[in-house]
Amino acid sequence: MRSIEVLNRPLPWLERFTFDAAIDWIIAGLRAAAPSWLRRYGWRPCYVVAEAEPVLVERSWLGETRKASLAGAAPEALPCAICIPSSDVFLTTVNLPIEARPALREAVRHRLQDVSPIPLAEIEFAVGESGPTREGRLIAEVAIVRKQTIAEAMSSSAGRPVFMIGGGLNDDGGFRFLFDETESPKSDWRAFAPILAVLTGAVAFLTGLDIYVDRKLYAFSAYETQLLDVLKAEREKFSILDGLTPDAGSRENVLVAVLELGRIAALLPESVWIEEARITSTALEVSGFARRATQWPAELDPAIADSDRPETDRYSFRLDGSPQ
């Protein structure tokens, strides 16, 4: 294989989503995360590499490949793969921005006129391994072959269906460069169906579990809010007693004063708020705030003063006599 020099020039917009790219991304992720026994599970004959000595290649559920013996197999019933001789392939590397990784083939296509010794209309190309550099760039291996060479290889298949055309056959039966690939055999999809079923079931289970947990959390939050509302209501019932500061008197006097305070509170209009109630040995003193122009009960004669609240006065009154 011959190497040629690469030149650099600006790249076009590379963002583009394709279904095939999404499937490849999912399978690559599963292959990277799965244990070795799962990656190598479900071996079955996939294709035969048409060389001087044909090579049978098996494929697992997750796309792992391996060379296998032709003994007992029926090569004529399997698709064939064609390996382009290394003497017919031009090799080069392309230096790209790291941002080109999501659409690597499109980025390489944009640079072909700078790296190909053959007119673009007469070639096919394939992108091999790529890796980042210390400078934050991306180096991609590129193989270039004449379309005429591919056509001649296709005609040598003797009418058998061609599964793929590549260059550089690896020890595992895969190709270092893949120039063309037809639709995968149906057996591959049937083999992959159990994994898809398991993944679908796992996603459905996790989704249902998430919905169930969300509903439980929402119900608990609603119950907690309702409980806090009840506690707040009970607290408000006894808020009138917060300001009681008995200075003297017996426990019985305090109880009588509390009952008297409750009676007075029932007489007060809604526009009156009790801030403090003070029990002494001779009187019950009450103070707080009231809306301006409040109509007071006849038995009360509060002292009114201005407050720092708008449209609100400060009041206080005293009920003389021992609270008994």
Number of domains present in the structure of the chain: 2
Residue 267: how many CB atoms within 10 A of its CB?
A: 12
One domain, residues 266 and 176 = no
Domain boundary among 184, 203, 226: 184
One domain, residues 180 and 243 = no
Higher-confidence residue of 15 and 170: namely 170
250, 184, 213, 251: which is closest to 47 by C-alpha?
Answer: 184
pLDDT band at 236 (very low <50, low <70, confident <90, very high): low
Domain annotation covers residue 310: yes
Least confident of 84-88, 98-102, 249-253: 249-253
* pLDDT reading at 185 higher than 70: no
Domain annotation covers residue 203: no
Range of the domain at 248: 239-320
Per-range mean pLDDT, top range of 35-39, 51-55, 139-143, 151-155: 139-143
What's the DSSP call for residue 6?
-
Least confident of 1-5, 66-70, 142-146, 245-249: 1-5
Tell me what the pLDDT averaged over the chain comes to.
76
Higher-confidence residue of 53 and 311: namely 311
One domain, residues 172 and 272 = no
One domain, residues 136 and 271 = no
Cα first-last separation, the chain: 115
One domain, residues 123 and 44 = yes
- Cα pseudo-dihedral 147, 150, 154, 156, rounded to 10: 120
| Tokens coding 148 | 């005429």
Domain annotation covers residue 160: yes
pLDDT band at 150 (very low <50, low <70, confident <90, very high): confident
pLDDT band at 145 (very low <50, low <70, confident <90, very high): very high
Instruction: Calculate the alpha carbon distances from 218 to 39, 210, 213, 226 in Å.
Output: 41, 12, 9, 12
pLDDT in tens, 106-129: 888 888 888 888 898 898 999 988
Domain boundary among 149, 169, 184: 184
d(CA 286, CA 275): 8
Domain annotation covers residue 110: yes
For residue 316, the model assigns a pLDDT of 92
* pLDDT reading at 15 higher than 50: no
* pLDDT reading at 6 higher than 50: no
Question: Which CATH number fits the domain that encloses residue 95?
Answer: 3.30.420
One domain, residues 177 and 295 = no
Domain annotation covers residue 164: yes
191-219 average pLDDT score: 78
For residue 292, the model assigns a pLDDT of 87
Percentage of the chain modeled with pLDDT above 70: 75
Domain annotation covers residue 219: no
78-90 average pLDDT score: 85
47, 46, 87: which is closest to 190 by C-alpha?
Answer: 46
For residue 252, the model assigns a pLDDT of 60
For residue 315, the model assigns a pLDDT of 92
Domain annotation covers residue 212: no
